[in-house]
């Protein structure tokens, strides 16, 4: 009986040594992970460059677009989509803002652009075009229509000189 009681404390000492070793291993691993993650983050964010005085190469691109010009399109008159006998109509005078070098391409394809605009407008309903939100949505959609017809050209915006929905 006396021998059994002495064996139990030895197991507890062995378990304590093992748990201390495991705890120390976890602390060292966590410390290593935090230091390496912090170092990687500081290098990625450029903080080490600032502390060490290293200079990063700076690059910038300058794009000379020129002053944009406005190109007037002919007056647009079209009826809008409806289920009634008497259809509402839209009258608009539009100026397209684009780069000066792209004006000749717009002039050459003006009939194609006007056809795309008229086709788009005939699919619209009156309630979709009323108000500020409607005119802004129409502006965005017409820019997309013109850019799709003149593919590589980027349109800055369009201005409505006149927009009447009746």
Q: What angle do CA 24, 28, 29 make, to 5 degrees?
A: 115
Coil, strand or helix: which one is 74? coil
Same domain, 48 and 74: no
Whether residue 94 sits in one domain with residue 48: no
Chain segment 133-157, per-residue pLDDT in tens: 888 999 999 999 999 998 888 888 8
Instruction: Evaluate whether residue 57 is within a structural domain.
Output: no
Same domain, 92 and 35: no
Which are the contacts of 90, defined by CB distance < 8 A and separation ≥ 6? 76, 77, 78, 79, 80, 121, 124, 129, 163, 164, 165, 166
Q: Which residues of the chain have pLDDT under 50?
A: none
CA–CA separation, 165 and 80 (whole Å)? 9
Residue 59 covered by a domain: no
Domain span holding position 114: 69-165
pLDDT in tens, 151-164: 888 888 899 999 88
């Amino acid at each position: 009986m006396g021998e059994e009681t002495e064996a139990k404390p030895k197991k507890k000492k062995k378990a304590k040594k093992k748990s201390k070793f495991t705890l120390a291993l976890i602390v060292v691993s966590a410390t290593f992970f935090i230091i390496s993650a912090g170092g990687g983050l500081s290098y990625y964010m450029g903080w080490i460059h600032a502390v060490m005085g290293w200079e990063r190469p700076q690059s910038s691109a300058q794009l000379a677009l020129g002053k944009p010009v406005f190109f007037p399109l002919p007056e647009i008159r079209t009826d809008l989509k409806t289920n009634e006998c008497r259809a509402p109509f839209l009258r608009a005078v539009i100026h397209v803002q684009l780069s000066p070098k792209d004006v000749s391409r717009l002039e050459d394809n003006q009939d194609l652009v006007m056809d795309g605009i008229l086709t788009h407008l005939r699919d619209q309903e009156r309630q979709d075009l009323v108000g500020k939100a409607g005119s802004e949505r129409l502006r965005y959609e017409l820019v997309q229509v013109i850019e799709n017809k003149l593919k590589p050209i980027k349109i800055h915006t369009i201005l409505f000189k006149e927009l009447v929905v009746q």
